[in-house]
């Protein structure tokens, strides 16, 4: 029996399955453990099930000499120093191919919400501003028949494109190996939806120049990673009406402090990274993460080991 540290409460029965085979310590607070708390709780662990909010770097790994398995409850491993883990013979797993449709649902919901000014309309009702039916009040933009530009047409981007087909949208895409050049996509699209991984090449992929290339009536949607967008440039673009609006499920950092200047920008929707937040999807993610830990601690290959 090995000892495992799980850095947050998980939905479903995943932790119970892990506890049936190993001793389990679960961090039960809503706020993530600090680096010091993470090191203290993980130092004796052989298995670590963590989140994107947990920084797993070489310094942490140096203090976790018994660690044999890291399982990240995410579709990526941006927070894990993969080279440091592999140098120490630690298997690293993730939870791919499970949140595609759920995240695509949210991306399209953000397109609809931004285009039709739904947050503003909801606030108006609660503020008592709904006085009568007014022909020129809260006018938004049509989604049907418009042009959607998908940046990075992997699984999630492809799923968003299928939804766009049902709305009669013209779909463009730009990726490393296919599609139209990014400047062309930005110039032609009414909605730009980001679906690329965060790498050194995609960090701040959308900056001031890219925002200026968009139509002044266009909307930017990001359900990928916050750092893909230069947030300072986005704030300026919203305040100066360079684009019509933006809808974000991801930010840099996460969470954004309530005083962050971006949050006061006009025509902006920000959600707390809920792209995969349905009962079914999060339970499946937790199950995959536990499967990775169980396999590695049994001396077997992780079913979902992060690719080299």
What number of other Cβ atoms are within 10 A of residue 126's Cβ?
Answer: 8
The average pLDDT across 182-194 equals 98
Q: Is the pTM value of this prediction over 0.85?
A: yes
Catalytic-residue membership of 254: yes
Place of tokens 């673009």: 237
Tens digits of residue pLDDT in 127-179:
999 999 999 999 999 999 999 999 999 999 999 999 999 999 999 999 988 89
User: Which residues, including other chains, have CB under 8 Å from residue 41's CB and lie 6 or more apart?
Assistant: 5, 25, 27, 33
Cα first-last separation, the chain: 29
Catalytic-residue membership of 305: no
How far is 288 from 293, CA to CA, in rounded Å?
A: 9
How far is 206 from 170, CA to CA, in rounded Å?
A: 21
3-state SS assignment for residue 35: helix
Place of tokens 């941006």: 78
pLDDT range class, residue 273, cuts 50, 70, 90: very high
Spell out the domains of the chain, with CATH numbers in brackets.
3-98+279-297 (3.40.50.720), 100-270 (3.40.50.720)
Place of tokens 């399955």: 17
Catalytic-residue membership of 225: yes
Question: What is the CA 49 to chain-centroid distance, rounded?
Answer: 18
In 3D, which of 30, 32, 72 has the Cα closest to residue 285? 72
The average pLDDT across 58-70 equals 97
Is residue 308's pLDDT more than 90? no
**Helix, strand counts (H, E) of the chain:** 11, 11
Is residue 281's pLDDT more than 90? yes
What number of other Cβ atoms are within 10 A of residue 3's Cβ?
Answer: 15
How far is 139 from 115, CA to CA, in rounded Å?
A: 9
Average pLDDT, the chain: 97
In 3D, which of 159, 52, 53 has the Cα closest to residue 106? 159
Tens digits of residue pLDDT in 86-111:
999 999 999 999 999 999 999 999 99
Given 153, 273, 282, 284, which residue is catalytic? 273
Tens digits of residue pLDDT in 284-303:
999 999 999 999 999 999 99
∠ CA(75), CA(78), CA(83), 5° rounding? 115
Given 254, 260, 283, 305, which residue is catalytic? 254
Given 8, 225, 282, 284, which residue is catalytic? 225
How far is 40 from 33, CA to CA, in rounded Å?
A: 10
How far is 243 from 236, CA to CA, in rounded Å?
A: 10
3-state SS assignment for residue 148: strand
pLDDT of amino acid 105: 98
């Amino acid at each position: 029996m090995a000892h495992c540290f799980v850095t947050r409460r998980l939905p479903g029965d995943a932790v119970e399955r892990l506890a049936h085979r190993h001793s389990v310590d679960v961090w039960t607070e809503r706020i993530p453990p600090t680096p010091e708390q993470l090191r203290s709780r993980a130092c004796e662990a052989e298995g670590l099930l963590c989140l994107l909010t947990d920084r797993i770097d070489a310094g942490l790994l140096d203090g976790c000499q018994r660690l044999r398995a890291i399982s990240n409850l995410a579709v990526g491993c941006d927070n894990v120093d993969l080279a440091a883990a592999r140098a120490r013979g630690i298997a690293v797993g993730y939870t791919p191919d499970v949140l595609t449709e759920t995240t695509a649902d949210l991306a399209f919901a953000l397109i609809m919400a931004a285009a039709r000014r739904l947050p503003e309309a909801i606030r108006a009702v609660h503020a008592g501003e709904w006085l009568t039916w007014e022909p020129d009040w809260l006018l938004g933009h049509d989604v049907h028949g418009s042009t959607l530009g998908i940046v990075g047409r992997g699984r999630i981007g492809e799923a968003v494109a299928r939804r766009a087909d049902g709305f009669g949208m013209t779909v463009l895409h730009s990726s490393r190996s296919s599609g139209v050049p990014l400047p062309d996509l930005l110039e032609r699209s009414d909605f730009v939806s980001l679906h690329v991984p965060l790498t050194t090449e995609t960090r701040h992929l959308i900056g001031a120049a890219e925002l200026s290339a968009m139509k002044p009536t266009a909307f930017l949607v990001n359900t990928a990673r916050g750092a893909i967008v230069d947030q300072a440039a986005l704030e300026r673009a919203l305040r100066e009406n360079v684009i019509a609006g933006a809808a974000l499920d991801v930010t840099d950092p996460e969470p954004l402090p309530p005083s962050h200047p971006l949050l006061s920008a006009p025509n902006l929707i920000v959600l707390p990274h809920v792209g995969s937040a349905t009962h079914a999807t999060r339970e499946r993610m937790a199950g995959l993460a536990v499967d990775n830990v169980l396999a590695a601690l049994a001396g077997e290959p992780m079913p979902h080991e992060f690719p080299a």
